[in-house]
Amino acid sequence: MSTAGGADVTSPGGSDVTSRGGSDVTSRGGEPVLAAEERVVSPLADADDRLIEGALRPKRLADFVGQARVREQLSLVLEGALRRGRVPDHVLLSGPPGLGKTTIAMIIAAELGAPLRITSGPAIERAGDLASVLSTLSEGEVLFIDEIHRVARPAEEMLYLAMEDFRVDVVIGKGPGATAIPLDIARFTLVGATTRAGLLPAPLRDRFGFTAYLDFYEPAELGVIVRRSAGLLGVTLREDGAEEIAGRSRGTPRIANRLLRRVRDFAEVRADGVVTRQIARAALELYEVDDNGLDRLDRAVLSALVSRFGGGPVGLSTLAVAVGEEAETVEVVAEPFLVREGLMARTPRGRVATPAAWEHLGLPVPEPGAAAYPGAGYPPGTTLFG
């Protein structure tokens, strides 16, 4: 791997990897390699985590668990392109974090037998950043842009022309003397991933030939993923242990694999290394993950909403201050799962706890129109639920 600092590194599998700007990666030989994160705490630990994460990712579409409709649709897109001998249409993957968008991008490159270049939207700040990536693409290469909705506007406008005509206009000079030089680029397939599809401009969204929305996984599907990951990690996992981990994984494979590694640590240190339901429960209780998958932040938000604000409505910023977190953290990390589980509702007046929130916290559900709890911060006579 050739990095910006000039160091040459060879990937473990022997494939050639090219890194540009610290975020782009090209993998050849059919085994794409994920780019290193820009912020590294420990190089050795980070490399080990990437190897583990890479080992748990399925390499082929047939090995990908869940998202059955997306798999079938994508297989037709790829197979049709291969039979015609042409590059596939550009692919847009949307959905919550941790559901496999990056993995699917790697699978697309592997199925096509093409190199994969990985970058991210925030890394493309100027049109020149994008031009340097596009101009070095090889024929049929797959370009994966994570968080594509965060690409800078000047680069986004250049991307329109590149996706449709496989051409970029390089501007030389400034002011009245500026000259646009058209530059043809190799035909490529763009795979864009976004967690907020609504932020994508319509002109960019319409240029994707295939759009797929990834939904949360069922516990049975997560159980298959956990058992497969346990086999790859050499973890002795009983069936009931796999069910326990899958049930607390919030419908997300990334969380399931993370919980499996933490349960493995617990089983190896405090038990005989075998993960049973009892061991999994003890481990997850230690890591503050309850039966429904709620973690410390989720329960803090619910507890503040119920005990301090009488169930709401309460504003996001006020709720964030009450739990000692940033408003964006509460909105992005905690709220989506709480709303999906029916424990919280968003209203025009603010966030509101549902009766299920009281039940989850082990508190009696107040009757509609009942007075707010004393000390909840409301004037006397305030009622709950309307």
Q: How far apart are the first and last CA of the chain?
A: 62
Whether 254 is catalytic is: yes
Helices (H) and strands (E) in the chain, counts: 15, 13
Q: 20, 28, 57, 101: which one is catalytic? A: 101
**3-state secondary structure at position 326:** coil
Of the candidates 92, 297, 124, 125, the one whose C-alpha atom is nearest the C-alpha of residue 195 is 92
Query: Treating both helix axes as pointing N-terminal to C-terminal, what angle do 239-247 and 253-270 enclose, rounded to 10 degrees?
Result: 130
**3-state secondary structure at position 119:** strand
> Which residues neighbour 217 within 8 Å (Cβ) at sequence distance 6 or greater?
65, 66, 67, 99, 225, 251, 252, 253
> Around Cβ 175, how many Cβ atoms within 10 Å?
5
Amino acid at 61: L
Whether 10 is catalytic is: no
Whether 174 is catalytic is: no
Tokens of residue 37, six digits: 């994160």
Of the candidates 270, 229, 272, the one whose C-alpha atom is nearest the C-alpha of residue 249 is 229
Tokens of residue 19, six digits: 């890194």
Q: 254, 281, 299, 351: which one is catalytic? A: 254
Of the candidates 105, 101, 94, the one whose C-alpha atom is nearest the C-alpha of residue 149 is 94
**3-state secondary structure at position 11:** coil
Whether 195 is catalytic is: yes
Q: 189, 195, 252, 354: which one is catalytic? A: 195
DSSP 8-state class, residue 377: S
Of the candidates 159, 170, 188, 181, the one whose C-alpha atom is nearest the C-alpha of residue 87 is 188
Q: 24, 129, 146, 298: which one is catalytic? A: 146
Q: 26, 102, 276, 354: which one is catalytic? A: 102
Catalytic residues: 101-102, 146, 195, 254
